[in-house]
């Protein structure tokens, strides 16, 4: 009873640890109307559409995300109380609620949109344990609309229920879930084929960061030489073998096997181009670690949980400073282009130019890098040099909207508004809904192209402000 009462304190604790997210600044309006993954994640897509339509204050959005995380933490703690001894149940709930890896899910709206799926899935499991199979199945199906990787849940049921009275009860559900899981993989065969070589790297990195969450980054370096990828795959295979052997003696091994299944699922069924959400694998990783920690000295468990909470607060605070966040991302993933392009606009122009010169040495034929260099040179009041970079970008990609819009800005800086207008007309003829081009045209008094665009409220507000400043 004491453990259950302590678990009730988990929701405010989970929200308190990640409270710095309330201070995270609002992202700038996207350059194009957001393309939402309706077919892959219709529930999440609808939630993202509502978010863009309402355009809530950053604090309101962060509060809603924290409420979902707190609800999932309470549901997991309650579930563990029904399955585990009191101490292990409390530890599992705390590990899930406080783990720093949750920050990556809570910070980005695309990954946070999977959280309703986690809540629905956990509620469905509770209903299933109460014998309300139809309601549980309905909620599980609804969870798939937000998080396709939840299709692995029946397999998880089978792994963790082996040798218990629940085995027969979940066997039929496990068979159906396995078929659904395989169908989901078949639907993403293109991504699966390209991602297989680095599955071991992702899985091994995730397992390591769960126990030692140092060096967290929104854009991890998962690509590795073939020999390193092979060694990582062998290490994961050894972990699977160890977990299978341990599962014959303890439930911790079964939960670790379930965690690896969930890691594979989120790797091949991620949130679009975003980093896969770790909220689902943590549902199995936390119970696995809790069963082990419950056998150790209580003081060691308290120290470990306190360290996790401090790391979670620190990582959440880092998201409130985008420049510091992306600097760390560049340091941890020096061979990834995305963090460099995200960092450059946040730096002073001189530092941005230096960063992009180094980036061009690694990616000399990338139009995005050339366009970013042009923007940095424009901020440094060097329009002629910026024009040369925009021309390089357009030579590599003649339809690059950022480069052609930047070229128009360079013409304006050179006092050639007529050339800028002509450049913007060409840009909007190719990309009529490209927001920076529409903003620049509005400031010059150019009429917008007669093409309807599904702009968000923030984008429409920016367009209205640009028009009013003419």
pLDDT tens for the chain, 470 residues: list them: 545 566 667 778 888 888 888 777 777 788 888 877 766 788 888 888 888 888 888 888 889 999 999 999 999 998 888 888 888 999 999 999 999 999 989 988 888 888 999 999 999 888 877 878 788 888 888 888 888 888 887 777 767 765 555 555 555 566 666 666 666 666 666 666 677 888 899 999 999 999 999 889 888 888 888 889 999 999 999 999 998 888 888 888 889 988 998 998 888 876 445 578 899 999 999 999 999 999 988 899 999 999 999 999 999 998 888 999 999 999 999 999 999 999 999 999 999 999 999 999 999 999 999 999 999 999 999 999 999 999 999 999 999 999 999 999 999 999 999 999 999 999 999 999 999 999 999 999 888 888 888 888 888 888 888 887 65
Question: Can you give the pLDDT at residue 176?
Answer: 63
Domain boundaries, the chain: 2-328, 337-468
- 94: closest CA among 315, 307, 314? 307
Name which of 377, 385, 387, 316 is nearest 345 in CA terms: 377
pTM for the model stands at 0.89
The CATH architecture annotation of domain 337-468 reads: Alpha Horseshoe (1.25)
d(C-alpha 86, C-alpha 63), whole Å: 30
Q: How many whole angstroms separate alpha carbon 189 and alpha carbon 257?
A: 23
Note the pLDDT of residue 307: 94
- Which one, of 117, 263, 140, lies nearest residue 204 by Cα? 263
Question: Which residue from 403, 401, 400, 374 is spatially nearest to 389, judged by alpha carbons?
Answer: 374
| Cα distance between residue 17 and residue 154, in whole Å | 31
305: tokens are 């949980």
Closest C-alpha to 349, from 304, 318, 324, 380: 380
pLDDT of 312 reads 93
């Amino acid at each position: 009873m004491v453990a259950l009462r302590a678990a009730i304190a988990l929701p405010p604790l989970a929200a308190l640890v990640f409270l710095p997210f309330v201070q995270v600044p609002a992202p700038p309006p996207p350059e194009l109307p957001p393309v939402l993954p309706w077919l892959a994640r219709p529930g999440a897509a609808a939630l993202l559409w509502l978010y863009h339509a309402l355009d809530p204050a950053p604090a309101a959005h962060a509060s809603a995300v924290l409420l979902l995380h707190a609800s999932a933490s309470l549901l997991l703690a309650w579930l563990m109380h029904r399955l585990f001894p009191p101490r292990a149940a409390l530890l599992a709930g705390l590990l899930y609620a406080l783990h720093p890896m949750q920050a990556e899910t809570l910070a980005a709206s695309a990954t946070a949109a999977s959280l309703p799926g986690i809540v629905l899935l956990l509620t469905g499991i509770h209903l299933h344990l109460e014998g309300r199979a139809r309601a549980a199945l309905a909620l599980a199906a609804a969870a798939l609309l937000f998080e396709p990787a939840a299709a692995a849940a029946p397999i998880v049921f089978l792994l963790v229920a082996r040798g218990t009275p629940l085995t027969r009860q979940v066997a039929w559900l496990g068979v159906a879930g396995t078929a659904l899981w395989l169908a989901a993989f078949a639907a993403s065969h293109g991504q699966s084929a390209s991602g297989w070589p680095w599955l071991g790297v992702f899985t091994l990195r995730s397992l390591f960061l769960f126990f030692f969450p140092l060096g967290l980054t929104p854009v991890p370096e998962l690509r590795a030489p073939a020999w390193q990828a092979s060694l990582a795959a062998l290490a994961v295979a050894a972990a699977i073998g160890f977990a299978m052997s341990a599962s014959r003696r303890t439930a911790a091994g079964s939960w670790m096997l379930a965690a690896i299944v969930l890691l594979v699922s989120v790797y091949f069924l991620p949130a679009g181009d975003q980093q896969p959400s770790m909220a689902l694998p943590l549902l199995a990783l936390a119970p696995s670690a809790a069963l082990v920690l419950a056998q150790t000295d209580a003081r060691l468990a308290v120290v470990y949980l306190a360290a996790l909470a401090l790391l979670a607060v620190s990582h959440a605070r880092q998201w409130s400073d985008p420049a510091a966040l992306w600097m760390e991302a560049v340091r941890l993933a020096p061979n990834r282009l995305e963090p460099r392009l995200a960092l450059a606009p946040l730096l002073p122009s001189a530092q941005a130019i230096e960063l992009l010169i180094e980036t061009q040495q690694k990616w000399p034929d990338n139009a995005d890098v050339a366009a970013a260099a042009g923007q940095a040179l424009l901020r440094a009041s060097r329009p002629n040099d910026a024009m040369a970079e925009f021309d390089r970008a357009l030579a590599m990609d003649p339809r690059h909207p950022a480069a052609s819009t930047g070229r128009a800005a360079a013409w304006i800086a050179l006092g050639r508004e007529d050339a800028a207008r002509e450049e913007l007309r060409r840009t909007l003829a190719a990309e009529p809904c490209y927001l920076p081009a529409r903003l620049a045209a509005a400031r010059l008094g150019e009429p917008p192209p007669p093409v309807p665009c599904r702009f968000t409220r923030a984008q429409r507000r920016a367009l209205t402000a640009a028009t009013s400043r003419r």
